[in-house]
Amino acid sequence: MADPDLSDITRRMDSAQEVLRKEFAGLRTGRASAALLEPVMVEAYGASMPISQVGTISVPEPRMVTVQVWDRSLVGAVEKAIRGAGLGLNPASDGQLMRVPIPALSEERRVELTKIAGKYAEQSRIAVRNVRRDGMEMLKRMEKAGEISEDDHRLWGDEIQRLTDEHIKGIDSALAQKEEEILQV
């Protein structure tokens, strides 16, 4: 009898958590972060490309992000992309160096950001539950095909449930940490 492959299930649940971490990195708190500008797409050379492919993003001080644009002709496009990204940022260009001051968040905006973080976390929980459902269906198919016994099905099902609970607990703790970070004045 063959054992089901739980490494694939674990990998897929881990990737759901990793996506959540990346989404959280893009959520603005009161502090500057290079990850804040990662989702910004710049129209350059007739194509849309990530800002990290047209310049170097750095954080010289807690409330400032700078973008050193490599090609002087793209400075305007980078500035336009940052303004149009919906992040509430207003860049100032100084030659090829783009300074992006990070304004303090209002209480209203903080509450709005915690709601967005909650939505991201719920999407991640749904992804983990979908992986669990796929794993349970795989166990049913294996039992039906005679590859595993009913007892093994129950044992492997419990193991998949344990993995699910573990990953959802990780998502919840990441959400609590991000909410605390957002609400911190």
Q: What is the pLDDT of residue 168?
A: 96
Whether 91 and 126 share a structural domain: no
Provide mean pLDDT across the span 90-110. Answer: 84
Single out the residue in 83, 101, 119 at which a domain terminates.
101
Residue with the two structure tokens 């001051």: 101
Q: What is the pLDDT of residue 6?
A: 86
- Residue 1 inside a domain? The answer is no
What are the tens digits of pLDDT across the range 5-20?
Answer: 789 999 999 999 999 9
Amino acid identity of 70?
W
Q: What is the pLDDT of residue 95?
A: 86
What CATH number is attached to the domain comprising 52? 3.30.1360.40
Single out the residue in 51, 67, 101 at which a domain terminates.
101
Whether 157 and 134 share a structural domain: yes
Single out the residue in 78, 101, 124 at which a domain terminates.
101
Q: What is the pLDDT of residue 15?
A: 93
Query: What residue numbers bound the domain in which 123 lies?
Result: 6-25+106-183
Q: Mind spelling out the 3-state secondary structure of 17-62? A: HHHHHHHHHHCCCCCCCHHHHCCCEEEECCEEEEHHHCEEEEEEEC
- Residue 164 inside a domain? The answer is yes
What are the tens digits of pLDDT across the range 146-168?
Answer: 899 999 999 999 999 999 999 99
Whether 19 and 110 share a structural domain: yes
Q: What is the mean pLDDT of the chain?
A: 87
Phi then psi dihedrals of residue 104, to 5 deg: -65, 145
pTM exceeding the 0.95 threshold for the entire prediction: no
In the chain, the number of structural domains is 2
What is the number of alpha carbons within 13 Å of residue 97 lying toward its C-beta? 9
Q: Tell me: pLDDT of 58 over 70.
A: yes
